[in-house]
Structures are given as structure tokens and as C-alpha cells.
Structure 1
């Protein structure tokens, strides 16, 4: 997972810069500005987790989240968040990441 974290760290830093630049260009404080700020907060939280060495841990249970899922959504905080995201998908996806 170390190599994956290094790659994600670089991607997250790049995303952080893009979000900061996007926010600096915004002239109004609308729904998109709020969304960009929330996303920046999540990206910075993921970066901090990588730096602290607890990236990929579920914030609720402490268990490791599936690596393949973190590659897709590195700002994921918990398995609960993952299941909430599922309400936006039309096809079943949970079996790809969580085996019960």
C-alpha cells in the first residue's frame, strides 16, 4: 500500500492546488464555491492522514478500507460514507469492494 499512498499523495497535492486556484478565480460565493471549499477540506484531510500514517483506516471502525476503493476515492473517510455514495449509483457496486 506504500507505493499506492505515494502515488495518491502526489495526486491529492495536485488536486489541492487545482482547488485553491479554482477558489482564487471565483468572484462570487455560490454553491460551487461552497462545494470547492468542502472538497479542499476533504483533500487536505486525506493528505494529513497519509502524512500521519493512518490513511485508509475507517474513521468509525478503525478497519482498513479496500485499497481498490481508495484508489477511486482517496478522500473516503468511512465504510458508512461509501454506502451513502451508493444511493447515487444505478448498478450494484458494493460486492466489488466489501465481501460479506
Structure 2
């Protein structure tokens, strides 16, 4: 495990603990609970991949997912998911419109 992966692993474990604590508080709204449970499942899958030595490999092609993408979204499962990032990517406003 290289330094970047070790940092991601520690972040995943910390996020997992935070989500588990949030789920223990029953005052959350139902829609939020389902989001937290889905995120927790993705984190558990990523942690398991670390433990098996398969973290960072695309589940479809088996190729390595670039570290810069994993740094942004350590629970990324495939390169296909990276194509969805453009939907959420915040683009700068061109100054020519101002």
C-alpha cells in the first residue's frame, strides 16, 4: 500500500465511523438514513478491497483507476462511474458572458 492509498484507507475508516455514529442517532430523516446506509455499504466494499489488495481496480475491466479519481471518490468501483462525474462537475463561468 503506497502513501496515497494509506491516506485514503484511513479516510474511509474515519468516514465509516462517522456514518455509523450518525445512523445510531434515530432523529435523522428517512431519506437521509437511506443515503447514509448506501454510502456505508460503498465504504465497507472499498475497505474490503483494500484488505484483499484489489483496491483501485475497475470492477469491469480490471484496469487500475487513476489515483486522482480515487483521491476524489475513494469508493469508485469502475471507470464507468468516472464518466458520471461530468454531471456533477462544477464548471467555471466564462468571463465572456459577464
The answer for the alignment partner of 2:76 in structure 1 is: 76
**Count, aligned residues:** 92
The ranges of structure 1 where at least 4 consecutive aligned residues each deviate by more than 4 angstroms after the TM superposition are none
Q: Which has the larger radius of gyration?
A: 2
Unaligned ranges ≥5, structure 1 = 93-100
Secondary structure in structure 2 of the residue aligned to 1:26: coil
The answer for the alignment partner of 1:57 in structure 2 is: 57
CA RMSD, Structure 1 to Structure 2 (Å): 1.7
Unaligned ranges ≥5, structure 2 = 93-98
| Cα deviation 1:69-95 (Å, max 9, x = unaligned) | 111110000011111232122439xxx
Normalising by structure 1, what TM-score?
0.83
Normalising by structure 2, what TM-score?
0.85
Structure-1 separation of matches of 2:23 and 2:6:
26
The answer for the alignment partner of 1:32 in structure 2 is: 32
